[in-house]
Amino acid sequence: MMKTYQGSCHCGKTRFEVDLDLDHVRSCDCTMCSKRGALVHRVEAEHFRLLTPIENLTLYQWNTRTAKDYFCPACGILPFRRPRQNPKLWSVNVRCLEGIDLAAIRVEQTKGSELSRV
């Protein structure tokens, strides 16, 4: 069932809301995801609403420069990103959503480490 969640970075300067059917999260083993410890859920663009101007965020890109990682420039938290495999979607860091019981959500392991570096 679809539900609207409020999300933010640690300091609250980056805010968003998202409509999700939160039946799982993904834990990726690539270097980027494993180092930041994010648990993500992908959503279509129409279910994601950025409440902070995107110009106020810091963009990080590497390797193929397809994925877009958006960070709060004040606290450094990455609450969402555009994934490399489908850059039209948003990957939301579920750890940044309010009122989530992570222990009650199924975790799917993904093998981002096996993606080609080119």
Q: Which two tokens stand for residue 48?
A: 């994601």
Token representation of residue 83: 């994934």
Residue range 3-114 in CATH 2.170.150.70:
yes
How is residue 73 written in tokens?
């420039």
pTM of the entire structure? 0.88
**Spatial CA neighbour of 98 closest among 1, 10, 2:** 10
Q: What is the pLDDT of residues 38-86, one digit of tens each?
A: 899 999 999 999 999 999 999 999 888 888 999 999 999 999 999 888 8
- The DSSP 8-state label assigned to residue 77 in this structure reads -
CA torsion through residues 33, 36, 13, 7, sign = positive
Output the six-digit token pair for 6.
């409020």
